[in-house]
Amino acid sequence: MSRNTNRLFTIGQFADLHQINKKTLMWYDEIGLFKPAVIRENGYRYYAYWQCSMLETILMLRELSVSVPEIKTFMEHRSPAALHRIFTEKSAEIDKTVEHLSQIQKALLQQKKGLQDLQAIDLSSISIRTQKAQKLVVLKTAKGIPPEKEAEMMLNEAHRHKSYRMYGILYGSMIPVASLYRQDFNDYQAIFLRVPQIDREADIHIQPAGNYLCAYCQGSWEKLPEKYEEILGYASDHHIQLWDYAYETGINETVMDSIDEYITRIEIPIQRDQA
């Protein structure tokens, strides 16, 4: 069946054909991006069948977020090389967006699991759990460094590793187990971050795989020494030798109303010969 390539469409018909608002065509005409094929003496505008591919190209480029000035330049100097350049640039942008959305999706799944676990936590329990090895980015710290300075350090490091927001990162503090055995419960020596992509120049610490003693402390950080006393007592009673670092992580910062509700998860590796 032959096609009537000479047919003319009103602005409303042409807009319906391409499933867009006719005001879009009016705007394209006004700015000189896409004009009707025919303008009658009475001012009525008509579009031709052969203009369909041209409009679809413009709509495609708009969906790719190409700016109107860029589209106008391309439409005035169309060529395979020019379109290939646009596609190459937009493909790279899409890859970056997909990577970012993938990070967000992983962060959401992590947050959902954390919230589910949070509802089932027994804050009074001390348990033994098995964990895989984890690569952590560590930032050296020391006694006397104010919390706001440590927060600034973490945010800067997260940005350096191309993490756009902290919600996709597990972070916390590290204190040597040797310090705990000396009753030095404030000897924090590092902040750690578990980021999706680790910069090669980062200071990396491997959180060892194996069995961990796990406990929770609810309330301000001033309550942590008392919790560590309890943990050490539990380890002594059960003939458990701890080693490496105690890893502290806040697990409910996004849903708490006050510091009294703050929950710190404490995880300490058990000597391997006891695993």
Residues 129-175: tens digit of each pLDDT:
999 999 898 999 877 788 778 778 877 877 776 655 556 678 899 99
pLDDT tens digits for 54-102? 999 999 999 999 999 999 999 999 999 999 999 999 999 999 889 888 8
| Final residue in a domain of this structure, among 26, 55, 78 | 78
Residue 196 scores a pLDDT above 80: no
Same domain, 145 and 221: yes
Within a domain: 113: no
The whole-number pLDDT of residue 63 equals 94
**What was the pLDDT predicted at 2?**
41
The domain containing residue 23 runs over which residues? 8-78
Give the pLDDT band (50/70/90) at residue 201.
low
* Residue 248 near residue 213 (C-beta atoms within 8 A): no
Inter-CA distances, 186 with 80, 225, 236, 266, Å: 65, 8, 21, 14
CATH number at residue 199: 3.20.80.10
DSSP state of 258: S
Q: Over the stretch 217-265, which tens digit does the pLDDT of each residue have?
A: 999 989 999 999 999 999 999 999 999 999 999 989 888 899 999 999 9
- Of 78, 112, 132, which one is at a domain's C-terminal end? 78
Residues 49 and 146 grouped into a single domain: no
Which residues, at least 6 apart from 229, have a Cβ–Cβ distance to it below 8 Å?
none
pLDDT for residue 1 is more than 50: no
Average pLDDT of the chain is: 88
Instruction: Please count the structural domains in the chain.
Output: 2
Q: Half-sphere exposure of residue 122, counting CA atoms within 13 Å on the CB side? A: 5
Going from the C-alpha of 71 to that of each of 35, 36, 63, 115, 251, the distances in angstroms are 14, 17, 12, 46, 48
